Chains A and B, each alone.
Chain A
Amino acid sequence: MSEKRATREAYGETLIELGRANPNIVVLEADLAKSTTTIKFKKEFPDRFFDCGVAEQNMMAMAAGLATTGKICFTGSFAMFATGRAFEQVRNTIAYPSLNVKICPTHAGITVGADGGSHQTIEDIALMRVIPGMTVIVPADYYEAKKAIAKAAEIDGPVYVRLGRATLPMIFDEDYDFVPGKAIVLKQGTDVTIFATGIMVSSSLVAAENLAKAGISAEVINISTIKPLDDNAIIESAVKTGRVVVAEEHSIIGGLGSAVAELLCEKHPVPVARVGIKDVFGRSGEPAELLKYYGLTDEDISQAAKGLLGK
């Protein structure tokens, strides 16, 4: 776990690989090619790269039009603008007709850092998850991001892949076989299950180690595909441990915490604690400072688990 990389770094690199393999891959950007790393694709395939300028809504609806001509269109920008500003283009022109457009913005969550609350989207998973037919993937590290972006190109229909700016420890490696819709048990446990997504997966593994020292056996499950949710894996683990912590860099409303709570309420009710942004906006700061400020550290996950165990 020595090398750390951001999930956004996987974007430009994987697009190049996809572009070499398939002439129908087209990349759209909205004036953020350096930040999102799509500039790498632009350099190798200038004829299949289109900078839409600062016009995210047009980028999304154009991507839908391109898809009708057989292109597999990847759209960039920051998560705030791709899912927020262009929400209705994504909903009505991409998802409603089920067109083959990939929405892979970067700089999701509060770890955007110093840019502050206007740029820190904590609602994007909720916004994408509520759209019928949308696949929603939140990679936990660089390698999972690479595999998820490559897999998104194979799925016929709209896919949201949430990428981030923060550098993260490696959990997977080049040989990892990402299967959309499949939860991954990273650590077995019996007392409590921690369902985590995105940057919170590595923190959950640290939390589980610390909990073990305190005599608590925590199961850690990576939910990288939030939609479609791996219902069986979640219910199975909840049956086994009887207690659930959900950890995500997103509002506690509408994200993975909500998805897990909705499922378990109906199928197997157990105590659930949500670790996430508690219905407030972000602010400027260093990523590590912000994670602490908003209660998204491994220590916060441990505390939530202990709370469920009455410790």
Chain B
Amino acid sequence: MTTHTTDKQATVSLVEAKARTIRTRIINMLGAAGSGHPGGSLSAADIVATLYFHEMNYNAAEPRWPGRDRFVLSKGHAAPVLYAALAESGYFPREDLATLRKIDSHLQGHPDMNKTPGVEISTGSLGMGFSAAVGMALGLKIDKSESRVYTLIGDGESQEGIIWEAGMFAAQHKLDNLVGIVDYNNLQIDGHVSDIVDIRPVAAKWSAFGWHTIEIDGHKVEQIIGALNEAKSIKGKPTMIIANTVKGKNVTFMEGQVDFHGKAPSKDEVAQACGEIEASGPLG
């Protein structure tokens, strides 16, 4: 089980330190792999760190413990951020991270529930993880479980029709045990989301689809915690947190750079990136 500290500032500091550690691990594992998706992993690091080191109940020694909360990384290409969080949470040894994308590794290019402990469902094809998370929330409701389901979707991913099919279903069935989070970094492979097929006004869209919506800065841990707390107080509808983020966050040469959506850093870039992250505060 995770230990939740009661002191607010201490909690924020702990999560921030974990987020920095997750960022260095993302950089190192992508450097070792030679391919993968740094931009969208770094933009989600603070959100994922808050979920694993503050919000969720789980037991790394018993990954399928029925009473756990579930996290579904619907934007499965950000697998490195999930793997880093799982390793830091004790699901598997940190040394495994260096095997990312290798032939005999349990760390696939996109998350595989049957290979990696702690992965709730295999994702990678966009939109489907979100829909599966709705199915999980429904299954937990049928069983009158107290467990909650958290799912992270991309802004580009929000162009998939299935996102909105699942969104309508979740509202229809009042799945208040479900929290969606949009990692809104406004970049997708081919450019700015707003230049390709704009999803704005995304909060108004989710609101119109029957969801409670909260807009936050997705890099401010205090705001992430606040939104997750607010979501728990909302009954009779699911909550969508619109987290405004920066792609490649905390690595200056990656921030806002579409080229780092799906390009691994070189050896020199790894060193520079890790240096910047470590200079920004203590690791956790």
Chain A interface (Cβ within 8 Å of chain B)? 26, 47-48, 50, 52-53, 55, 57-58, 61-71, 88-89, 92-93, 96-98
Contacts and interface: CB of A to CB of B under 8 A. Distances in A.
Contacts of B120: 68
Contacts, number: 101
Given A26-B142, A92-B128, A97 B136 contact: no
A109 to B, nearest CB: 27
A62 B142 contact: no
Interface of B: 72, 112-114, 120-122, 124-125, 127-129, 131-140, 142-143, 161-162, 165-166, 168-169, 173
A53 B134 CA distance: 15
Given A50-B173, A57-B165, A98-B114, A65 B122 contact: no
Contacts of B131: 57-58, 61-62, 65, 89, 93
**Main SS of chain B's interface residues?**
helix
A127 B137 CA distance: 29
Pick from A62, A89, A96 the residue with the most CB of B within 10 Å: A62
Contact of B114 (A26, A47, A62, A97): A97
Given A64-B135, A97-B113, A53 B125 contact: no
B125 A93 contact: yes
Contacts of A55: 162, 165, 168-169
Contact of B140 (A50, A67, A69, A97): A69
A308 B98 CA distance: 60
Contact of B121 (A53, A68, A70, A89): A68
Q: Which 7 interchain pairs have the tightest Cβ spacing?
A: A65-B135, A69-B139, A62-B135, A61-B131, A65-B132, A58-B165, A55-B165
A89 B124 CA distance: 11
A93 B128 contact: yes
B114 to A, nearest CB: 6
Nearest to B115: A97
A97 B121 contact: yes
A62 B140 contact: no
A64 B165 CA distance: 15
